[in-house]
Amino acid sequence: MSEQILKAIEPQPNPNVPPLRPGDVVSVHVKIKEGNRERVQEFKGTVLFTKNAGAGSTFTVRRIASNGIGVERTFLTYSPRIEKVVVERHSKVRRARLFYLRNRTGKSARLKQRF
């Protein structure tokens, strides 16, 4: 009963976020407010894992920044700030959470494409 009441209050899922799977290479377009101006920032990388928890769902994207440093960013899946998420390719992965990618660099950090 109380769960139903909560469901009615919770925000609707952001329609611009498609279902994501670990290993997907995505580019996330996030709206960012700078003073009065609003612009869109792109964050491109690999989905490490998703957390499906209703309104608190998140997904974490990892990318290698220009200086070779790994950057991870966690987005709220329901957030209205996400303008769109483009899935560029799927990867063949055998885990739900790709923590092992954090310890890999270069060639060994590649994932095989899944069509």
Partner 1 sequence: MLKGLIGKKIGMTQIFDENGVAIPVTVIEAGPCYVTQVRTPENDGYSAVQLGFEEVKPKRLTGGELGHLKRNNLPPLRFLREFRVKNPEVKEGDKVTVECFAVGERVDVVGTSKGKGFQGGVKRYHFRGGPKTHGQSDRHRAPGSRSSGTTPGRVYKGSRGPGHMGNDRVTAQGLKVVLVDTERNLIGVKGSVPGAKGGLVVIKEARKQ
Residues in touch with partner 1 (CB under 8 A): 2-3, 5-6, 8-11, 31, 33, 54-56, 76, 78-81
Smaller CB separation from partner 1, 31 or 104:
31
* Contact residues for 92 (Cβ-Cβ < 8 A; gap 6+): 23, 111, 112, 113, 114
Smaller CB separation from partner 1, 42 or 113:
42
Measured at the alpha carbon of residue 87, what is the angle toward residues 9 and 23, in degrees to the nearest 5? 95
CB of 81 to partner 1, least distance (A): 4
Whether the CB-CB separation of 82 and 16 falls below 8 Å is answered with yes
Smaller CB separation from partner 1, 18 or 80:
80
CB of 3 to partner 1, least distance (A): 7
